[in-house]
Amino acid sequence: MIDQKDIFATIDMIEQQHLDIRTVTMGVSLLDCCDEDPEKACAKIYDKICRYAGKLVPTCEEIEAEFGIPIVNKRISVTPVALVAGASDTDDYVPFAKALDRAAAECGVDFIGGYSALVQKGMTKADEKLIRSIPRALAETKIVCSSVNVGSTKAGINMDAVALMGKIIKETAAGTKDGFGCAKLVVFCNAVEDNPFMAGAFHGPGEAEKVINVGVSGPGVVHHALQAVKGASFDEVAETVKKTAFRITRMGQLVAMEASRRLDTPFGIVDLSLAPTPAKGDSVARILEEMGLEVCGTHGTTAALALLNDAVKKGGVMASSSVGGLSGAFIPVSEDEGMIAAAKSGVLDIDKLEAMTCVCSVGLDMIAVPGDTSAETVSAIIADEAAIGMVNSKTTAVRIIPVPGKEVGDMIELGGLLGSAPVMPVHKESSADFVKRGGRIPAPIQSLKN
Amino acid sequence: MNAVITVVGRDKVGIIARVSTLLYERNINILDLSQTIMQGNFTMVMLVDVSNSTCSFAETSDALTKLGHDMELTIRIQREEIFDAMHTI
């Protein structure tokens, strides 16, 4: 029989250290739902999602009960809607968002992602219609998530789209209470097609008909493991994280294979992620502090995060037959108890967060800024973050909330996994003339190979 | 299909008897069993085969949870694969 200690170690991880499967996400292609008549297209979308994902939630619940591991979220990702809605003879794309919302509610999932456009090199008419509809779509739906890819290492950064997204984020904030809509909107550079995490999940055009992607969690488990190697060298810290990430990911792989088999849907990827929650003991910031930093955000934080991110990947990659998605440590401010505390204390600021995004998964995530932050400043923040992604050949993203009527030091409550966020200061100096230029920032040379 | 049953709590008369009776009534075979006192707590680990069980996994799980509640113990049943996956290469 398996060692008793190992059995109780697993149970402790689940019950004391918040180990869970953060999400099982079913990707569904909507490419065959195109129709000149928008009403017919919406009906096809609704029917197809319900047909494919109707059993997703009960199946996940069965797996949770049998394996004793919580699956916190069940989600659906779909083909970027701009690719589907483009075929329809309409200027109003909001009904497409509503069809997604209805289908997701019918399936009982937590979120549906894919109200998206990929505009890294240029915008089609459909892309622009979709982007301009985002504020209304997010205000009039409950669980639809939206994302826009504005740059890539191969294409450069579409600064026209960046400028537009600054305005769209401001409008979205204005149209929803406390700017909540912005929590469901991500602006990407180098977006991935198989991301299971929200708000940025979409089912890329290069993906299969349907697929199961799984995102694991486990900052609490890593933190607990590091408490046992207090004062040890970084070699030992890295080894400890690797071993822990291996265990966490193996569990993710097991659940992914089981869900794939039961739902008769191909297994896609496991996302090797350390996704925090606002609960105490489930924080990425606290892991960095465990490495010897007084407060997350002080000098040394970027190095600590670089080690953590790399060790998570090294440990996880051997544990799964197929790794993908965003894979790395997440640093969403509002969703991480330690990050919230560090931001509140003023030690962690946007500039430090930006530096941290150079070495970890994703980017400036779930950050509340004052309501009077201009659209141009939001665009400039997006441009900085996209540049980091473009030059470093990695995914970066911005999910920022310019909270109407709030000032630095105020707190906003987003609820549930989205947590709460202190409103953080941004630079006051204008970037308007920079953003106004438009055009494209050319793709960088990656190497002079000859 | 194998599953692991874990029982944790204060030692008292009849823990093994009542858990094994519940399993017997559902035609669940006990493959291995060990018990010890860990950090002052009674802990028991059972490996069982649920392939020929007369009721579903969920029903067995609920019945064990209820028994645990009645006896002021924590009783869980989980598929064996999760422990294998996490602790063996």
- Tell how strand A71-78 and strand A111-118 pair up: parallel
SS percent in chain A: helix, strand, coil, step 5:
45, 20, 35
- What's the mean per-residue pLDDT of chain B? 93
What amino acid is encoded at A244 in this protein? T
| B83 contacts on A by Cβ (under 8 Å) | 2, 6-7, 10
- What's the mean per-residue pLDDT of chain A? 95
CB distance A312 to A319 below 8 Å: no
- DSSP states of A315-359: HHHTT-SSEEEEEEE---STT-HHHHHHHHTTSS-HHHHHHHTTS
- Tell me the average pLDDT across A117-140: 98
- Name which CATH class applies to A22-189: alpha beta
Q: CB-based contacts of A80: which residues, under 8 Å, 6+ apart?
A: A114, A116, A117, A118, A202, A204, A205
DSSP annotation of A423 reads B
Interface contact flag, A65 B86, Cβ < 8 Å: no
Which of A11, A13, A60, A221 is best to mutate for the B interface (most B CBs within 10 A)? A11
Tokens of A370: 């004052």
CB atoms inside a 10 Å sphere around CB A321: 10
Please list the alpha-helical segments (H only) found in A156-300.
159-175, 219-227, 234-262, 284-290
- Tell me the average pLDDT across A199-215: 96
| B35 contacts on A by Cβ (under 8 Å) | none
- Tell me the average pLDDT across B10-35: 94
Q: Which of A213, A359, A190, A357 is nearest to A272 (CA)?
A: A213
| Per-residue model confidence (pLDDT) at position A359 | 95
CB distance A291 to A226 below 8 Å: yes
Q: Which of A76-85, A257-266, A294-303, A439-448 has the lowest mean pLDDT?
A: A439-448
With a pLDDT cut of 70, the percent of chain A lying above it is 100
B4 part of contact set with chain A, CB < 8 Å = yes
Interface contact flag, A7 B4, Cβ < 8 Å: yes
Q: How far is CA A359 from the centre of its chain?
A: 16
> Tens digit of pLDDT for each residue in A58-81?
999 999 999 999 999 999 999 999
Beta strands in A144-203 (DSSP E): 144-152, 156-158, 185-189
| Per-residue model confidence (pLDDT) at position A229 | 95
Q: Which of A195, A165, A197 is nearest to A182 (CA)?
A: A165
DSSP annotation of A113 reads E
Give the span between the Cα atoms of A196 and A416, in whole angstroms: 18
Ordered by start, the domain boundaries in chain A are: 22-189
Distance (Å) from the alpha carbon of B13 to chain A's nearest alpha carbon: 22
Burial A376-405 (b: 16+ CB within 10 A, else e): bbbbbbbbbbbbbbbbbebbbbbbbbbbbe
CB distance A53 to A109 below 8 Å: yes
Name the phi and psi angles at A22, rounded to 5: -70, -40
pLDDT above 90 for B6: yes
| Per-residue model confidence (pLDDT) at position A1 | 67
Q: How confident is the model at residue A447 (pLDDT cuts 50, 70, 90)?
A: confident
Nearest to A69 among B45, B57, B82 (CB): B82
- DSSP states of B14-47: THHHHHHHHHHHTTPEEEEEEEEEETTEEEEEEE
Give all domains of chain B, ordered by start, each with its CATH number: 2-87 (3.30.70.260)
The CA distances from residue A326 to A150, A188, A195, A213, A418, in Å, are 17, 12, 6, 11, 18
CB distance A279 to A16 below 8 Å: no
| Per-residue model confidence (pLDDT) at position A51 | 98
- Tell me the average pLDDT across A192-208: 96
| Per-residue model confidence (pLDDT) at position A362 | 82
Q: How confident is the model at residue A446 (pLDDT cuts 50, 70, 90)?
A: confident
Tokens of A347: 């030690």
B45 part of contact set with chain A, CB < 8 Å = yes
Write out A356-415 in H/E/C secondary structure: HCCCCCCCEEEEEEECCCCHHHHHHHHHHHHHHHHHHCCCEEEEEEEECCCCCCCEEECC
The CA distances from residue B63 to A72, A146, B18, B58, B75, in Å, are 24, 43, 11, 9, 10
Give the span between the Cα atoms of B72 and A378, in whole angstroms: 56
Q: How many CA atoms lie within 13 Å of A277's alpha carbon, on the beta-carbon side?
A: 21
Read off the pTM.
Answer: 0.94
CB atoms inside a 10 Å sphere around CB B63: 17
Tokens of A18: 């918040």
Interface contacts A/B by beta carbons within 8 Å: 64
CB distance A323 to A273 below 8 Å: no
Distance (Å) from the alpha carbon of A394 to chain B's nearest alpha carbon: 29
| Per-residue model confidence (pLDDT) at position A16 | 85
| Per-residue model confidence (pLDDT) at position A416 | 83
pLDDT above 80 for A412: yes
Nearest to B83 among A2, A62, A66 (CB): A2
Q: How confident is the model at residue B40 (pLDDT cuts 50, 70, 90)?
A: confident
B78 part of contact set with chain A, CB < 8 Å = yes
- Tell me the average pLDDT across B28-32: 96
Beta strands in A3-106 (DSSP E): 21-28, 71-78
| Per-residue model confidence (pLDDT) at position B23 | 97
Distance (Å) from the alpha carbon of B11 to chain A's nearest alpha carbon: 18
> Tens digit of pLDDT for each residue in A315-365?
999 999 899 988 888 999 999 999 999 999 999 999 999 999 999 978 899
| Per-residue model confidence (pLDDT) at position A273 | 85
A335/B88: higher pLDDT: A335
Distance (Å) from the alpha carbon of A272 to chain B's nearest alpha carbon: 15
| Per-residue model confidence (pLDDT) at position A272 | 86
